Amino acid sequence: MVAAVVDIEVRSRVPGRSGDDLPTVLVRLADEGTTVRELIRRTVEEQIRESRADTARSRRILDRQYGSDDETPNGAIRKPPADPDATAEAARAHRAFARGTFVVFVGGRQVADLDEQVTLRRGEPVVFLRLVALAGG
């Protein structure tokens, strides 16, 4: 039996920001079932591929989505732009997810663990949502 190939649209959002988010990407999977860890890895790879034309912009939006407060105090990026390395960025995204820097919603349900199995269906939304502190609160 041949596994079905499924393309999943993944959107990444940072509340309060518009126009400078990571690109919405199509992640191609060999099967509808995968782990959150694999979904994040494949998404980060595709985000890098989609945004490679502008290294500085790519670095800025990857830092904003997956960077920790220690890496980006007050949102300021202090390192020079470099071509993102997919393996390193995926590892950073995994750490960010584990710390609660961003959350993942699959089909409207928040997933909680990197090793959680998820079933992805064409047309169901997948959203990576960066969590940000509320001003004054």
Could you report the per-residue pLDDT of 35-74, keeping only the tens digit for each?
999 999 999 999 888 877 677 777 777 787 888 656 555 5
Say if residues 130 and 17 touch (Cβ distance below 8 Å).
Answer: no
Note the pTM of the prediction, 2 decimals: 0.78
Domain ranges within the chain, ordered by starting residue = 10-130
In the three-class reduction of DSSP (H, G, I as helix; E, B as strand; rest coil), residue 70 is classed as coil
Could you give the 3-state DSSP secondary structure of residue 29? strand
Q: Tokens 């400078």: give the residue.
A: 20
Nearest to 84 by CA among 47, 42, 41: 47
Distance CA 129, CA 136 (A): 21
pLDDT in tens, 3-46: 677 889 999 888 776 666 778 899 988 777 899 999 999 999 99
